[in-house]
Amino acid sequence: MIVRISGEGQYRLADEALARVNELDNAVVEAAQAGDEARFQATFGDLLALVRSQGEELPEDDLSTSDVILPPPDTTVEEAAGTFTGEGLIPD
């Protein structure tokens, strides 16, 4: 799976990381829907950190299509409430 972090770059994630990414995505949805800024920032930060640490960063000139596009790291809970809904960005 290829995940883009808006404003940052693309990362290729191995299948082994997807279950944890999905768990964090679901936690981010819950925090965003609850309007809990502190919990949102913590879980969204964990999601971004996982993508960065477990993913292989693709070169800037790589034209691979992103499977998932995450909002920029400075996203607020208010901005995320319209993006992180239902099953989140990564469907179960």
pLDDT digits 0-9 by tens, 27-62: 998 999 899 999 999 999 999 999 999 999 999 898
Q: What is the pTM of this model?
A: 0.88
Percent of the chain residues topping a pLDDT of 70: 90
Instruction: Tell me whether residue 76 is in a domain.
Output: yes
How many domains does the chain divide into? Answer: 1
Would you give the DSSP letter of residue 50? H
Instruction: Tell me whether residue 85 is in a domain.
Output: no
Instruction: Tell me whether residue 88 is in a domain.
Output: no
Contact 55, 15 (CB under 8 A): no
Instruction: Supply the range of the domain harboring residue 60.
Output: 2-80
Instruction: Tell me whether residue 90 is in a domain.
Output: no
Instruction: Tell me whether residue 11 is in a domain.
Output: yes
For residue 30, what are the contacts with CB-CB under 8 A and spacing of at least 6?
A: 39
Instruction: Tell me whether residue 91 is in a domain.
Output: no
Torsion angles phi and psi, residue 78, rounded to 5:
-65, -45
